[in-house]
Homo-oligomer: A and B are copies of this chain.
Amino acid sequence: MEAVIEEKIVYQRPEALSDIHTHYCPGCTHGVAHRLVAEVLDELGVRERAILVAPVGCSVFAYKYFNIDAAEAAHGRAPAMATGIKRVMPNHVVFTYQGDGDLAAIGMGEIMHTAIRGENITTIFINNAIYGMTGGQMAPTSLAGQRTKSSPGGRDVELTGFPVKMSEIIAGIQGASYVGRYSLHNVKEINRAKKAIRTAFKVQLEGLGFSMVELLSSCPTNWGMTPAQALEWVENMMVPYYPLGDFKVLPEVEQLMKR
């Protein structure tokens, strides 16, 4: 009997992502991050009880792009808003999606305390070392010497300090159960990032407390690079300063990762 060949779809848009054009710049890996989260929501079968809290930043319209219920928070306050939602809807899957200005600058207090409370939500943290939406000012995560619109001579660590490593900080907080930093600069790393995102959401589903995945992401527009150059910059400049991997894995989470 001869084998019959059939064509199967091996990759298509996840259900949790709406089929609409995004406003992201060409090659901006916000889009990749969105897709990964959507895939994980679909795979875990939680799309219908997922609630997104979108930030203020380039990803402000994430609420349009995800095909799930969503709220748009004030700049930096997404974790507080998510806390409010989660406390009255404990069985829903609540997550924030935040940029580095949003999470690491103005929203520092809220993300810290959400982690301190061990709030049972998930945070997807996009670190692109710049303020994208406002046109390219320095972020707390901008690299030493990095030229931005508000550090035209390059980030001067004497005056502005060293770029902040949020994953390491959050990992140091007892209430954080899972914290990992991954990158979106190539397919291999994208796949690792997805695994981390899946773990983070599983942590929430198991009620284990706060989980966060930091994703190194590109901003070709404000870095003044082509998309391809931007990914190289992530790999060659960001990764050395922002090491990839898991920074906090509670024993219970380790169990979970094995499953």
Interface digits, A145-183 against B, CB 8 Å rule (1 contact, 0 not)?
000000000000101111010001100111100000000
Give complex CA distance A109, B159 in Å: 18
Give complex CA distance A162, B160 in Å: 31
Q: Do residues B116 and A162 form an inter-chain contact, with CB atoms below 8 A?
A: yes
Q: How many residues of A contact B (CB 8 A)?
A: 24
Determine whether A38 belongs to the interface, using a CB cutoff of 8 Å to chain B: no
- Which residues of B sit under 8 angstroms from A162, Cβ to Cβ? 116, 118, 174-175
Give complex CA distance A172, B162 in Å: 12
CB proximity to B under 8 Å, residues A88-129: 105-109, 112-113, 116-119
A183 CB to nearest chain B CB (Å) = 21
Residue in B106, B112, B164, B172 whose CB lies within 8 Å of A108: B112
A135 CB to nearest chain B CB (Å) = 22
A77 CB to nearest chain B CB (Å) = 11
Residue in B109, B118, B140, B168 whose CB lies within 8 Å of A161: B118
Give complex CA distance A62, B212 in Å: 40
Q: Please name the residue on chain B nearest to A105 by beta carbon.
A: B113
A125 CB to nearest chain B CB (Å) = 15
Give complex CA distance A117, B160 in Å: 5
Residue in B105, B109, B172, B175 whose CB lies within 8 Å of A106: B109
Q: Do residues A172 and B175 form an inter-chain contact, with CB atoms below 8 A?
A: no
A248 CB to nearest chain B CB (Å) = 13
Give complex CA distance A160, B109 in Å: 15
- Which residues of B sit under 8 angstroms from A105, Cβ to Cβ? 113
Give complex CA distance A168, B112 in Å: 14
- Which residues of B sit under 8 angstroms from A168, Cβ to Cβ? 172
24 A-B contacts (beta carbon < 8 Å): A105-B113, A107-B109, A108-B108, A109-B109, A109-B112, A112-B112, A112-B169, A113-B140, A116-B140, A116-B162, A116-B164, A117-B159, A117-B160, A117-B161, A118-B157, A118-B162, A119-B161, A161-B174, A161-B175, A162-B174, A162-B175, A164-B173, A168-B172, A169-B173
